Amino acid sequence: MTLLGLGLHLSGRSVGDPSVWQVSDEAREFMARSSEAWGTAYEASGAPADAVAAAVRGTTRFYVPEKIAGHSLSGE
């Protein structure tokens, strides 16, 4: 997220209202893919596959909570 924000800032762009963007489908996909990429790097470091899978699941659940009737579990 930090690199995304820095890249947008340096290019003179923004996501608009961050509270709206963070629950958008685009942001959810970005965060899910980031979790998966982090898991790939974690596994490459020698972490056991089961630990990697658990970490990716937990990270994804935290940053990309399930939607209920068009809203995330966080109430956003």
Read out DSSP for 37-52?
A: HHHHHHHHTT--HHHH
pTM of the model: 0.71
The mean pLDDT value of the chain amounts to 86
pLDDT for 74 beyond 80? no
Rounded average pLDDT over 15-42: 90
CB atoms within 10 A of CB 12: 6
Q: Is the pLDDT of residue 69 over 70?
A: no
- The neighbour count for residue 1, using CB atoms within 10 Å, is 12
Residue 67: its pLDDT value, please? 79
Question: Cα–Cα distance between 56 and 29 in angstroms, integer?
Answer: 14
